[in-house]
Chains A and B, each alone.
Chain A
Amino acid sequence: MSSYQYDVVVVGAGPSGSMTARYAAAGGCKTLLIEKRQEIGSPVRCGEGLARHFVEDTKMPFDQKWVGREVKGAKIFSPNGTELTIEEAHAGNEVGIVLERDAFDKAVAKEAAKAGAEIWLKTTATAILKDDGWVRGVHAKRLEEEMNIEAKCVVAADGYESQVGRWAGFKTLLKAGDITGTLQYRLTNIGPGHDFPDYCEFWLGTIAPAGYIWVFPKDDMTANVGIGVSLDRLKNRVDIKGYLDRWIAQDPRMSRAQPLDMVTGGVSTAPPIKKSVGNGIALVGDSARMIDPITGGGIGNGMLAGMILGKVLAKCNEAGDFSEAALMEYEKGWRAKLEENLYRNWLAKNKLVTLSDREFDDIIQVLAEVGVHKLSVRAILKVLKETKPELVAKFAEFI
Chain B
Amino acid sequence: MPEQVVSIRPSVRDNGIMAIDDMLCMHCGACVGTCPTNAIFLNEVYLTFNEDCTQCGMCVKVCPVGAIDYPRGHKLHTMK
Chain A residues engaging chain B, CB cutoff 8 angstroms: 36-38, 43, 45, 122, 124, 159-163, 166, 172-174, 176, 179, 181-183, 231, 234-241, 262-266, 268
Instruction: Name the distance in Å between B4's Cβ and chain A's nearest Cβ.
Output: 23
Instruction: Name the distance in Å between B52's Cβ and chain A's nearest Cβ.
Output: 12
| Residues B69 and A237 in contact, CB atoms below 8 Å apart | yes
Majority-rule SS of A interface residues:
mixed
Instruction: Name the distance in Å between A44's Cβ and chain B's nearest Cβ.
Output: 10
Total interface residues on B, CB under 8 Å, equals 26
Confirm or deny: B60 has a beta carbon within 8 angstroms of a beta carbon on chain A.
Answer: yes
| Residues A265 and B34 in contact, CB atoms below 8 Å apart | no
| Residues A264 and B60 in contact, CB atoms below 8 Å apart | no
| Residues B32 and A236 in contact, CB atoms below 8 Å apart | no
| Residues A183 and B64 in contact, CB atoms below 8 Å apart | yes
Whole-angstrom CA separation of A241 from B63 in the bound complex: 9
| Residues B65 and A38 in contact, CB atoms below 8 Å apart | no
Given contacts A37-B44, A237-B66, A238-B66, contact A264 B61 (CB under 8 A): no
| Residues B28 and A45 in contact, CB atoms below 8 Å apart | yes
Known: A160-B33, A179-B62, A241-B64; 9 extra A-B contacts, CB below 8 A, are A36-B43, A37-B44, A43-B26, A124-B43, A161-B42, A238-B65, A241-B65, A264-B28, A264-B63
Instruction: Tell me which residues across on chain B come within 8 A of A181, comparing CB atoms.
Output: 30, 61-64
Instruction: Name the distance in Å between A238's Cβ and chain B's nearest Cβ.
Output: 3
| Residues A266 and B62 in contact, CB atoms below 8 Å apart | yes
Instruction: Name the distance in Å between B37's Cβ and chain A's nearest Cβ.
Output: 9
- Of the candidates B33, B36, B69, which one forms a contact with A266 in the assembled complex, judged by CB atoms under 8 Å apart? B33
Whole-angstrom CA separation of A183 from B26 in the bound complex: 11
- A-B residue pairs, 5 tightest by C-beta: A266-B30, A238-B66, A183-B64, A160-B33, A234-B61
Confirm or deny: B11 has a beta carbon within 8 angstroms of a beta carbon on chain A.
Answer: no
| Residues B43 and A231 in contact, CB atoms below 8 Å apart | no
Return 30 A-B CB contacts under 8 Å, by A number: A37-B44, A38-B44, A43-B26, A45-B28, A124-B44, A160-B32, A161-B42, A162-B33, A179-B62, A181-B63, A183-B65, A231-B58, A237-B63, A237-B69, A237-B79, A238-B65, A238-B66, A241-B65, A241-B66, A262-B26, A263-B26, A263-B28, A264-B30, A264-B63, A265-B28, A265-B29, A266-B29, A266-B30, A266-B31, A266-B34
The closest CB in chain B to the CB of A239 belongs to B61
Instruction: Tell me which residues across on chain B come within 8 A of A236, comparing CB atoms.
Output: 61, 78
The closest CB in chain A to the CB of B60 belongs to A237
The closest CB in chain B to the CB of A240 belongs to B64
- Of the candidates B36, B43, B65, B69, which one forms a contact with A264 in the assembled complex, judged by CB atoms under 8 Å apart? B65
Confirm or deny: B50 has a beta carbon within 8 angstroms of a beta carbon on chain A.
Answer: no
| Residues B32 and A161 in contact, CB atoms below 8 Å apart | yes
The closest CB in chain A to the CB of B61 belongs to A234
Instruction: Name the distance in Å between B68's Cβ and chain A's nearest Cβ.
Output: 8
| Residues B33 and A268 in contact, CB atoms below 8 Å apart | yes
| Residues A174 and B33 in contact, CB atoms below 8 Å apart | yes
Confirm or deny: B15 has a beta carbon within 8 angstroms of a beta carbon on chain A.
Answer: no
The closest CB in chain B to the CB of A167 belongs to B38
The closest CB in chain B to the CB of A124 belongs to B43
Instruction: Tell me which residues across on chain B come within 8 A of A160, comparing CB atoms.
Output: 29-30, 32-33
Instruction: Name the distance in Å between B23's Cβ and chain A's nearest Cβ.
Output: 13
Given contacts A162-B33, A163-B32, contact A264 B64 (CB under 8 A): yes
Whole-angstrom CA separation of A368 from B28 in the bound complex: 37
Given contacts A36-B44, A166-B38, A174-B34, contact A231 B28 (CB under 8 A): no
The closest CB in chain B to the CB of A238 belongs to B66
Whole-angstrom CA separation of A265 from B69 in the bound complex: 17
Given contacts A159-B29, A265-B30, contact A182 B64 (CB under 8 A): yes
- Of the candidates B27, B29, B34, B64, which one forms a contact with A179 in the assembled complex, judged by CB atoms under 8 Å apart? B34
* Residues of B45-80 contacting chain A, CB below 8 A: 58, 60-66, 68-69, 78-79
Instruction: Tell me which residues across on chain A come within 8 A of B31, comparing CB atoms.
Output: 266
Instruction: Name the distance in Å between A287's Cβ and chain B's nearest Cβ.
Output: 9
The closest CB in chain B to the CB of A262 belongs to B26
* Residues of B8-38 contacting chain A, CB below 8 A: 26-34, 36, 38
